[in-house]
Structure 1
Amino acid sequence: MLDKSQLSADIAKSNQDAEIAKFDALAQEWRDPNGKFKHVLAFNSTRLMAIENAIAVHFQRDLNQDIPFQGLNILDIGCGVGLLCEPLASQGADVTGIDASGHNITLAQRHAQKWSIKVDYKHCLAQDLIGNEPQYDVVLNTEVIEHVDDQQLLVDTCCRLLKPSGLLVMATLNRTLKSYIVGIIGAEYIMKYLPKGTHDWNYFVKPQEITSMIAPHGLETITVEGMSFNPLTGQWKITDKPDVNYLLYALKTTD
């Protein structure tokens, strides 16, 4: 006699295994330097290097050590699939990565689990952490604010989650004519590095606007670095011109 309950259980397990295999494959695909996300990975590699250097300088850590960020609590708001979280965790930091996309969090969790990297991934919004989580030594908010309607609320939340003397890292696109030409026309329509409609130029944020938004929370901008792309070599580099992509670093001077 056919055991319908056992059959249903077997089908459910088969579907679950297939789903897990799909997420594992996607998690690996995101990190394939020759795959369809290779331009994102090249961008992230340069951005990660800049962020690591900034954290090391701010907290007087030696990047030549095996785990230079041991003892630091880092929050990555809008972590995506964990491209920043995992290398920072591998350097000893206690990393929490949050994202509004449950799909992204699943991919991140699957990859971290496979490589035994400890990251606390959460499917939530930044404001969900207010009052529930300890404050952080470093708060990262990279390539998120230009997709958010209430930009002031996001910045307010970042500031509230940061410890006194902590480091805030904001990475986004400047609202300039050059950023429209390079970041939208070039990246989305000509080179097709990003899907059309990924960005709305009106949501790009000038560095001085972020500086104004963080000031009421006792934060002051330390420095702003630009990022530029060479389409001939496919390489990104850090520059002193923040007219398209940039990273802004800020210190929290008060409670």
Structure 2
Amino acid sequence: MPASNTASNTAMAGEIAKFDALATRWWDPAGPMAPLHRMNPLRCGWIARRLAAATGRAGEDLSGLAILDVGCGAGLASEGLARKGAAVTGLDAAGEALAAARAHAAAGGLSIDYRQGLPEDLAAEERRFDAVVALEVIEHVADRPAFLAALAAVTRPGGMVFLSTLNRTPKAFLFAKLGAEYLLRLLPRGTHDWRMFVTPAELGAEARRAGLRTTDIAGMVPGLPRQEWRESRDVSVNYIVAMRRD
């Protein structure tokens, strides 16, 4: 699929270029995506358990389910979900990141359908998935309501949408912006714009207008240095949400 026009409702050219520039180091667990590497087991496990329960499966079994990973980057979540049995389509507007995703999946013997484009492209093709995930993506899009509507459009009725993002709180500004980017240098400077963070209430209201109903929410907090993240009731910084399409 050719790259979509960056003047579309949801894509931002600057954000695409930002993540394309990180493509060659995306899979380095000690590189600029190190926080996502440590967060990924929590994200994928949380999603898998809820999706398996909603579809009558045990544990984290996703076999036979078609999942779309929107804003997949170089494929961290795509590979995590594929290893749990899902048939995964990874979608991103960043071509260099997708090239890294395809190479890494091939090296690991994983069959993942990586496509360049936007969710509205697949909606125009009338594609539908059992579940759609967009992890650490919505804080980088140009139009949240349009993005949520596109996610709903590519989810089958009764299917699920999973989002993870950052809350717009003073604590998130301190830890996720100043701390992570400037003090600890866990992320490249300029990775996030605090003004684009979204509160759970805002996200829930916008999702309802798109035909999505929130069914679960949890906070995600980092463990000790070099340890994986853990689930928490504290949603003041990072949080993950499950939604069902009506």
Report the TM-score when normalising by structure 1.
0.82
Aligned to 1:171: 164
Cα displacement (A) at 1:92: 2.1
Matching residue of 2:44:
48
The answer to whether the 8 A contact 2:212-2:243 is kept is yes
CA-CA distance at 1:216 after TM superposition: 2.6
Match status 1:38 vs 2:38: no
SS at 1:84's partner residue?
helix
- After the TM superposition, which residues 194-209 of structure 1 pair with which residues of structure 2 at under 5 Å, given as runs? 194-209=187-202
Shift of 1:230: 3.6
The answer to whether the 8 A contact 1:27-1:110 is kept is no
Aligned partner of residue 76 in structure 2, secondary structure: coil
Aligned twin of 2:69? 76
Q: Per-residue displacement from partner, 1:5-25 (whole Å, max 9, x unpaired)?
A: xxxxxxxxxxxxxxxxxxxxx
Aligned to 2:13: none
Q: Whose Rg is larger? A: 1
Of 104-113 and 32-41, deviating more is: 32-41
Q: 1:54 is matched by which residue type in structure 2?
A: R
- Cα 1:102–1:167 shift into 2, 3 Å: same
What's the C-alpha RMSD, in Å, of the aligned pairs? 2.0
Q: Give structure 1 stretches of 5+ with no counterpart.
A: 1-25
Aligned length: 225
The higher relative CO (CA closer than 8 Å, separation ≥ 6) is in: 2
Query: Any unmatched runs of 5+ in structure 2?
Result: 1-21
Runs of 4+ in 1 over 6 A off after TM superposition: none
Which whole-Å deviations, capped at 9, do the CAs of 1:145-170 have from their partners, x for residues lacking one? 11112111111100111111111101
Residue 209 of structure 2 corresponds to residue 216 of structure 1: yes
Pick the aligned partner of 2:139 from 146, 156, 163. 146
Residue 99 in structure 1 maps to residue 92 in structure 2? yes
Q: Residues of 1 paired with 2:50 and 2:126: CA distance? A: 24
Match of 2:181 in 1: 188
CA shift at 1:60, angstroms? 2.4
Question: How far has the Cα of 1:123 moved from its partner?
Answer: 0.9
The offset of 1:218, in angstroms, is 2.8
1:35 CA displacement: 5.1
Compared CA separation, residues 180 and 162, structure 1 to 2 (3 A): same
Residues 155-210 of structure 1 show CA distances to partners (whole Å, capped at 9, x for unaligned) of: 11001111111111011001111111111011111110011111111100111111
| 8 A Cα contact 1:105 1:121, kept in partner | yes
Letter paired with 2:41: S
TM-aligned CA deviation for residue 45 of structure 1: 2.1
Higher mean C-alpha deviation, range 73-82 or range 231-240 = 231-240
Task: Point out the structure with the larger helix share.
Answer: 1
Secondary structure of residue in 2 paired with 1:118? coil
* Structure 1 residues 37 and 131, CA gap change in structure 2 (3 angstroms): closer
